[in-house]
Amino acid sequence: MSAVDRRFYGIASATLGTMRSMGMMFSMAIATLAAYLFVGDHKITKLNLPEYLQSVHVVFIIFTVLCFAGIFTSLTGLKRNHR
């Protein structure tokens, strides 16, 4: 919010809230898709627990990569704004 002029606080706040909601929605979609791809339509039981844990592992790897991409993108934006 500090990067926005005071008169645009409403728009910036709405955009920030929308992006957070979309991020949560897409992360849940990715996690659900991974669980479905590894486990399928079956209930998660002791028999298919290894497949479920593998899907969780894949999801953590995906989100770790996305977090690092966001960090480097954010740092690049900071350098550009302070010139």
Mean pLDDT per 10-residue interval, the chain, length 83 residues: 84 94 96 95 93 96 95 79 53
Helix (H) or strand (E) holding 48: none
Residue 62 included in any domain: yes
pTM, to two decimals: 0.74
Looking at residue 81, what is its pLDDT?
Answer: 56
Looking at residue 32, what is its pLDDT?
Answer: 95
Residue 30 included in any domain: yes
| Boundaries of domain holding 39 | 6-81
Number of domains making up the chain? 1
| Contact by Cβ (8 Å): 51, 34 | no
- Residue 16 has which token pair? 């920030």
Residue 12 included in any domain: yes
Residue 22 included in any domain: yes
Residue 1 included in any domain: no
